[in-house]
Amino acid sequence: MNWVCLCGNFVRDRRFCPRCKYVRFRLDNSPILDYWGLKVGSLSNGLPFNFPLHLLSTHTLVVGQTGTGKSRFAMNLTVKAETYPTTHGIKLLVVDVEGEWKNIIPKLKGKTEYFAVDKNLKINPFDLGDPALIRELMRETVFKGIEKEYMDLSAQMNFVLQETISESHSIEELIRNIKSYDRQKLTALDKTKTALLVRLDPFMRSPLKEIFLCKKSNPDFTNLDEQNIVIDLHALDSLVAYGSEVRLIYNTVTTYYLRKMLNRGTCDWVSNLFIADEAQLLVPKILHKIVVTESWPATEFATRLRKRGCGLVLITQSPSNIEKDIVKNTGTKIAFRLQHQEDIKIIAESSGFADQTEYEYLADRIVRLQRKEAVVSTLGCEPFLMTSDDFTVSGFDAETEEIQENLEEAVEDDDDKTFLESIVNEPFLSVTERRVKLGWDDKKYTKIVDGLCQKKRIEIVRVRLGRGSPRILYQRPGTVPSVKHEFYVDWLAESLTAKGYQIRKNKDGPDIEVLDCSTVIEVELGTSNISGNLKRNIQKFDRVIVCSDDSKLIEALSAKTKGKQILFLPIQKVPAAFEKMRAGTDLVNT
């Protein structure tokens, strides 16, 4: 940007004249970004401010003090995006701390589920499936500051925490594992365990136990991107004592969702929006661990999300509290009134206002903005002024919505109810056995099953033993453990009992204990903490048999894990292996 000032001075690559300090740039110069975008405000010249839909993929940062209109603007932008007539549609995940975002649900056109900490929200951080990431998450939330409090025990606490997390599948199991931990002869071990358990004690009491003492999260993390979801943390956030636990929920959901987005295929359109209200609750170290790997740095994070059709909408009072790499890589910044100089400086620098004179001009305007006025900085344009539209929402009554859902379930077809009761009471029947037992012909059976699948009331699961056709089973969505896992455990237990072995099936611990020979069997389908299970079992039993219906999983585990105590087998070969052991044959992994 080169120009000649009124004073005659030639100015190169600056918005102001160094000689007379005249600023050529004006925030009132309003560009037209899109004639057909999302109408969310008006410009200084009276024209509408239409937010281009494609800019959502480059991520949006909305900042401003309380009462400036930032939340209502973000709600308006989000609702307009979700209801915009696109080929693919946009699905939302909203993490709400203030309890306001549930009020947009009646305005959304897509199916929306609402989860609240005082109603139906369940969070199991171990659903992340990465012990190192879980440990970092717990250290940055629940155990934050504990190392300063117990400086003499910090290294020992980290070690015990690492060991127990790797063997746990839930917070409840973590607490049990810490209590019983005694494998290392550590000095002051009791004091170390007490220090960790003191931080975990609130999880055993209301209101935290209703949220965290579960085996599986609700909502189902694997489906976070398939429909609109609003997660309301306000009831817990309003209790000041639970700030760390709010951050744990916030970052657990965020971590799973963003990793899921980063690992899916590329696309050329926006299909998902992640709305992070009070985004300062995001833990910088956790975000860094998500986005930094050996193959790509944090600065590529925003680009990778954009190429996978996911946009971020980050909302905060203070941009200085957000991970700087994320702020720098938001393509659009909407700054309502700010007062703190550090916050204004971040917005100015990320908008290209690096010179002191330019910064002072922008800062002077930002601190004097009226309610609903904002400075917009986006790709390819100089910053400009915008006044956001009014956005009114009617109250959302979760209790009324829940009653309506219950009424819909109450009018469920009698045949549907009969089938659902059948798969609960007798989960392992074959299709033919179930159809005969229900007394239905093939046409009626198929109609009922197809209808329940379309309503997402059941899932079809295929299990295979040997070379024949797989057996078709059914389960409710999100069933843990899965019906496939339970079928294999039941089949193994019956097969070994028929051969004269005394066995015990467990809900916690190893799947099957063979009492005659101090041997345990673990059925692995690739969804559990295999290394943690192995480490725990080989200390208690003479032999551990890990079996699966996935030959590639068996090969990978066998190649990675060495030891005479551990045997990896296909499920159908386990009974024969016990007969060989009974005959005195020494079995080894091949």
Mean pLDDT for the stretch of residues 155-178: 90
At 407, the pLDDT band (50, 70, 90 cuts) reads very low
Looking at residue 589, its pLDDT comes to 67
Looking at residue 165, its pLDDT comes to 92
| Burial per residue of 178-216, b for 16 or more beta-carbon CB atoms within 10 angstroms, e otherwise | beebeeeebeebeebbebbeebbebbeeeebeebbbbeb
Q: Alpha carbon of 44 to those of 175, 374, 385: distances in Å?
A: 58, 11, 6
Residue 444 CB partners (closer than 8 Å, separation 6+): 415
Average pLDDT, the chain: 84
Pick the CATH number of 31-92+221-388 from 3.40.640.10, 3.40.50.300, 2.130.10.10, 3.40.50.2300: 3.40.50.300
Mean pLDDT for the stretch of residues 433-437: 93
Q: Which of 114, 113, 115, 139 is nearest to 125 (CA)?
A: 139
Question: DSSP code of 227?
Answer: S
Per-residue pLDDT for 197 more than 70? yes
Question: DSSP code of 380?
Answer: T
Per-residue pLDDT for 298 more than 50? no
Per-residue pLDDT for 477 more than 70? yes
Question: DSSP code of 368?
Answer: T
Looking at residue 333, its pLDDT comes to 93
| Burial per residue of 432-452, b for 16 or more beta-carbon CB atoms within 10 angstroms, e otherwise | eebbeebebeeeebeebbeeb
Per-residue pLDDT for 18 more than 50? yes
Question: DSSP code of 28?
Answer: T
Least confident of 64-73, 279-288, 305-314, 496-505: 279-288
pLDDT in tens, 46-71: 889 999 988 998 899 999 999 999 99
Confirm if 169 and 130 have CB atoms less than 8 A apart: no
276: enclosing H helix or E strand:
strand 272-276
pLDDT in tens, 355-383: 777 788 888 889 999 999 999 998 878 88
Report the 10 Å Cβ neighbour count for 343: 22
Per-residue pLDDT for 1 more than 80? no
AA letter at 36: W
Least confident of 139-153, 425-439, 513-527: 139-153
Q: Are strands 519-523 and 512-514 parallel, antiparallel or unpaired?
A: antiparallel
User: How far is it, in rounded angstroms, from Cα 499 to Cα 517?
Assistant: 14
Q: Which of 275, 284, 265, 285 is nearest to 224 (CA)?
A: 275
Residue 150 burial (C-beta neighbours within 10 Å; 0-12, 13-18, 19+): middle
Mean pLDDT for the stretch of residues 334-348: 91
Strands (E), 293-444: 310-316, 332-335, 373-377, 384-388
At 431, the pLDDT band (50, 70, 90 cuts) reads very high
Looking at residue 295, its pLDDT comes to 34
AA letter at 167: E
Mean pLDDT for the stretch of residues 379-406: 75
Q: At 170, phi and psi to the nearest 5?
A: -160, 165
Per-residue pLDDT for 15 more than 80? no
Residue 126 or residue 589, greater confidence? 126
Looking at residue 509, its pLDDT comes to 76
At 405, the pLDDT band (50, 70, 90 cuts) reads low
Confirm if 125 and 248 have CB atoms less than 8 A apart: yes
User: How far is it, in rounded angstroms, from Cα 449 to Cα 475?
Assistant: 11
User: How far is it, in rounded angstroms, from Cα 290 to Cα 133?
Assistant: 8
Its CATH class, for the domain covering 412-475, is: mainly alpha
pLDDT in tens, 239-254: 767 888 898 999 899 8
Looking at residue 286, its pLDDT comes to 53
**DSSP letters along 175-215, please?**
HHHHHH--SS--TTHHHHHHHHHHHHGGGGSTTHHHHHS-S
Q: How many CA atoms lie within 13 A of 582 on its CB side?
A: 12
Q: Alpha carbon of 495 to those of 124, 499, 512, 577, 588: distances in Å?
A: 34, 7, 12, 12, 22
pLDDT in tens, 65-114: 999 999 999 999 999 999 988 767 899 999 999 899 999 999 998 889 99
Per-residue pLDDT for 522 more than 70? yes
User: How far is it, in rounded angstroms, from Cα 361 to Cα 570?
Assistant: 71
Fold of 488-582: Trna Endonuclease; Chain: A, domain 1 (3.40.1350)
Per-residue pLDDT for 152 more than 70? no
Residue 156 CB partners (closer than 8 Å, separation 6+): 186, 187, 188, 189, 192
